[in-house]
Amino acid sequence: AIAVLFQLYLTTFGFGINFLTSMCGVQQIQLMLNPIFESSSPSDFWGRRWNLVIHGILKRGVYKPVRTRYSRWAASLAAFVASGIFHEWLLSIVFYTDGDDDDNHEVVHTNKIIDSIIPGYGRNTLFFVWNAILIGLEYAFGGAAMFQLMKRHLPLTVVSLLVTSTALPMVHWFTNDYVRSDFFWDSQIGFPIIVRVQ
């Protein structure tokens, strides 16, 4: 469910940016191509469907230069590590503290008091390294008869959900700080969220 929310947020953000830039006469690529429900492999998910703007930057700035000297898996690993570092940097902006030495200052939030959080640095990078490992496994075993049979005979949505599920064991490394910080609760301003009435 959290992955679908992230996809929804990024897709809507992408449509907004495309709308604004098109008003200035600049055409942008679509940010997301429904990766959760239409990906046929981990490399299809990350390379052709999820956050294509960042993918293009990492491909040109990291993958291709590394690929000129090393294997495609080493280049993929380098791109995923760079993505992890970039996301660590984003966390420092999203969870910016006010410079107060007290790490647990209280914030009033919709009639409840919550503690601001200090992000767990390193987890995002580990999540992206995990996905680089999955890409490496795809390079090594993706052509196996079993996987090709699944691609040919299962509906694309089922294949895509299987692909997405490969990241699930480690997805908490990426989503934990967003969930703990009430990122999704706060963002309901733009995206209504159904909540249980108590």
For residue 9, give every residue at least 6 positions away whose Cβ sits within 8 Å of its Cβ, in sequence order, or none.
187, 191
Contact between residue 148 and residue 107 where contact means Cβ atoms under 8 Å apart = no
Write the pLDDT tens digit of every residue in 170-188: 988 988 887 777 676 666 6
**Band (73; pLDDT cuts 50, 70, 90):** very high
pTM of this structure: 0.79
Residue 194 and residue 172: Cα distance in Å, rounded? 22
Higher pLDDT, 26 or 110: 26
Contact between residue 95 and residue 80 where contact means Cβ atoms under 8 Å apart = no
Q: Which residue is listed with tokens 């009435």?
A: 197
In angstroms, the Cα distances linking 162 to 66, 72, 137, 166 are 30, 24, 15, 7
Higher pLDDT, 126 or 106: 126
DSSP class of residue 117 equals: -
In this predicted structure, what is the pLDDT of residue 2?
Answer: 73
